[in-house]
Structure 1
Amino acid sequence: MKKFINSIDTLLDESLRGFSKAHADIIRFNPQPHFIQRIKPAQSGKVALISGGGSGHEPLHTGFVGSGMLDAACPGQIFTSPTPDQMLAAAQAVENGGGVLFIVKNYAGDVMNFEIAAEMLECPKATVLVSDDVSLPKTHSTGRRGVAGTLIVEKIVGAAAENGASLEACKALGNRVNQATASMGVALNSCTVPALGKPMFDLGDNEIEMGVGIHGEHGRETIDLISASEIVDRLATSINDELKPQEGQPALLHVNGLGATPLMELHLIYELASWFWEQRGVSICRSLIGNYTTSLDMAGCSITLSLLDEELMRLWDAPVHTAALRWGC
C-alpha cells in the first residue's frame, strides 16, 4: 500500500486541519469533538442543516459546508460513523433559532448515532433519511443505502433553508427530493482502507462489480468486464425502472466518480447516460460530473438521476458557496 500518510491515527485530524486552512474563508474546524462549520453567519431563524458520516467520501460532507448548503458536517474515522457527541456539539454550535435538520445517509451506524444526538438536542429538530441506491431492493432488511443522491438533497434543501423555509418545509422537501432520486454504482476495482492495507475485495483483471456502495463493500453481482455502453445501459435501466420518468420530464443527471476514475471517462459515461434518457424523451436540463461522493481510491463511478420541477430547478440553481460546490455567488 502506497499512501501519503504519517500515521493512521493522525490521518483524519491532519487532513481536516489542512482542509480548514485551505478554505478558511468559508469554514472553521472544531478539533474536539471533530466537526466543520460555516463561518458566514446565517440569518436569525434559519434552519440549520447538519450532515456527516465516515471519512473517505470527500468532498462529501465537509466540502459542502457553506452558504446555500450545510451549516455543519461531522466526519467520522474512515468508513466509520461519527459519534453522537460530534453531532450534538455541531448542532449546538450552528442552531440559530430555526431548529436543526439532520440529513442522514441510510447506514445503520449513522442512523443510530444521529438518532441519539437528536434525542439529546433541546431544540426543534427533524431528520431526512437518504436512500437513493437502487442496487438494493426496497425490501432489504436495512433499507436502501444513501449514496451520491445525498449531495442533491443537501443542495436543494440547503437553498430552501437559506431562503427562509421552515423546519417542517425543509424536511418535506428533503423527503420529496429523495423519492425523486435514484443512483447505482459500478467498480472496476476496490478501494484500499489505510488501516487494512489491502483492497477490501478482489476483482480479476476482467471482472467488475455492479451495484457497489461507497464503503468498499461488495456490490450485488460480479460480472465480466463489458463495454462502457453496456455498463451504462445496466445502471441506467435499473434507475429508469425505479423512477419511471415520463416523456418530457426535466431531470438532473449526476455522474459521480468514486475516487480514481479520470474525468475523461466520467464525461464518456455522461454522454452515454444522457443519450439513454434523451432517447426516452427525458429532458436532461441540469448536470453535475466529477468526484463528489467518493470511496477513497476506488476506480468506478455512479449514475444518479433526479426528477425535477420548476421549484427544484430554481433551488438547484440558487447560489451556493462551499469548498467543493459553488456557483451564483
Structure 2
Amino acid sequence: MKKIINDPAAVVAEALRGMAAAHQDLLTVRTDPALVTRADAPVAGRVALVSGGGSGHEPLHGGFVGPGMLHAACPGPVFTSPTPDQVQAAIEAVHGGAGVLLVVKNYTGDVLNFETAAELAAAEGIEVRTVLVDDDVAVKDSLYTAGRRGVGGTLLVEKIAGAAAERGADLDTCEELARRVVANTRSLGMALTACTVPHVGEPSFTLAEDEMEIGIGIHGEPGRQRLPLEPADGIVRRLVDAVTEDLPFAEGDRVLLLTNSMGGTPLLELYLAHGVAEGLLAERGVTVERRLVGPYVTSLEMQGMSLTLLRLDDELIDLWDAPVRTAALRWGC
C-alpha cells in the first residue's frame, strides 16, 4: 500500500486539520466530535442542511459545505458512518431557528445514526426532516443497504435544496425539492480497479487486468456484473442504457449530466467518456442542459466512473444555477 499518510488510524483527523487550514475563510472544523460547518453558522432564519457519511468519498460531503449548499457535514471514519452524537452536534451547531433538513445516503449505518440524531434533536425542540438519497440503479439491496444505494445524486440534492435554503425557502419547500430531485435522479458506476482502505492495507476486491465491474458501489460493494474490459464507447453505452431505462428518461427530457470520477480516473479519460455520453443521449432525444465533470463522489483511489442523470424543470435549473461557494463547488459568487 502506497499512500501519503502517517498513521492509518489518524487519516481523517489529520485531513480535517488540513482542510481547516486550507479554507479558514469558509469553514469551521471541529474534531471532537468531528464535523465541518459553515464559518457563518448558524444562519438565523434559514433552514439548515446537514449531511455526512464515511470519509473516503471526498469532496463529498465536507467539500460541499458553504453558502448555497450544506451548512454542516459529519465525516465518519473511512467508509464508516458518522455517529449519532456527531450528527446531533452538527444539527445543534447550525440550527438557525427555521428547522434542519438531513440529506442521508441510503446505507444502513447512515440511516440508523441520522435517525437517532434526529430524534435527539427533536426532543430538544428542533424540527428535523430527513430525505434519503437512493439513486443507484445497480442493485436493489446490498450488504450495506435495504433498497438502492445513495451515490452521485447526493451532490445534486445538496446543491438544489441548499440553494433554496439560501434564498429563504421554508422547511416544507426544501424537503419537497430534495425529494423531487431524488425521484428524478438515477446513477450507475463502474470500476477498473479496487481501492485500498488505509487501515485495511490491501485492495477491497480483485479485478483482473482484462476485467471491469459494472454497478460497483462507492465502498467497493459488488455490482451488476463483471465483464471483459471494453473500449470507452462500450462502457459508457452500458451506463447510459441502464440509467435511461430505469426512470425512464424519454425523448424531449431535459437533464443534468454528472460524469463523475471514482477518484483514480484522470480528466483526460473522464472528458472522453462525457463526450460519448452526451452523444448517446442526443441520439435518444434527451437534451443535456447542465453538466458537471470531475471527481465529486469518489471511492478513495478507485479507477472508474459513474454517470448521474437528473430530469430537469425550470425551477430545478434555476436552483442549480444559483450562486454557490464551497471548497469543491463554486460559481456565481
Amino acid in the other structure paired with 1:125: V
Equivalent residue, structure 2, for 1:48: 48
Shift of 1:217: 1.9
Within a 5 Å distance, the mapping from 1:72-151 to structure 2 comes to 72-121=72-121, 122=124, 123-137=126-140, 142-151=146-155
> Contact 2:42/2:95 (CA < 8 Å) preserved in 1?
no
Q: How many Å separate the matches in 1 of 2:141 and 2:203?
A: 29
Partner of 2:318: 314
Report 1:1-329 matches (<5 A).
1-41=1-41, 43-121=43-121, 122=124, 123-137=126-140, 142-329=146-333
What is the alpha-carbon distance in structure 2 between the residues aligned to residue 128 and residue 283 of structure 1? Answer: 28
Q: CA deviation at 1:220?
A: 2.0
The separation in 1 between residues aligned to 2:225 and 2:294, in whole angstroms, is 25
Kindly provide the CA deviation profile for residues 163-202 of structure 1, in whole angstroms up to 9, marking residues without a partner as x: 1111111111111100100000000010011111111000
The offset of 1:219, in angstroms, is 1.6
Asked if 1 retains the 8 angstrom alpha-carbon contact of 2:42 and 2:96, the reply is yes
Length-normalised TM-score, structure 1: 0.98
**Deviation (angstroms), 1:156:** 0.3
AA aligned opposite 1:214: I
Residue 226 of structure 2 aligns to a residue whose secondary structure is strand
CA RMSD of aligned residues (A): 1.3
- 1:261-284 C-alpha deviation (Å, 9 max, x unpaired): 000100011001111111111110
Greater shift, 271-280 or 67-76, is seen at 271-280
Kept after mapping to 1: 8 A contact 2:9/2:199: no
Q: After TM superposition, what 4+ stretches of structure 1 lie above 4 angstroms from structure 2? A: 138-141
Tell me how far 1:138 sits from its aligned partner.
7.9
How many Å separate the matches in 1 of 2:87 and 2:60? Answer: 16
Shift of 1:44: 2.1
Q: 1:171 to 1:110 in 2, by over 3 A?
A: same
Is there any run of 5+ residues in structure 1 with no aligned partner, and where?
none
TM-fit CA distance, 1:244: 2.0
Distance 1:82 1:43, change over 3 A: closer
- CA change 1:138–1:181 in 2 (3 A) is farther
The whole-number CA distance in structure 2 between the counterparts of 1:284 and 1:138 is: 30
Task: Report which stretch shifted further, 184-193 or 210-219.
Answer: 210-219
Distance change in 2, residues 1:139/1:13 (3 Å): closer
TM-score normalized by the length of structure 2: 0.97
Asked whether the equivalents of residues 134 and 182 of structure 2 are also in contact (C-alpha less than 8 Å), the reply is: yes
Which amino acid is 2:190 matched to?
Answer: V
The whole-number CA distance in structure 1 between the counterparts of 2:245 and 2:59 is 29
Q: Check whether the contact 2:41–2:93 (CA below 8 A) recurs between aligned residues.
A: no
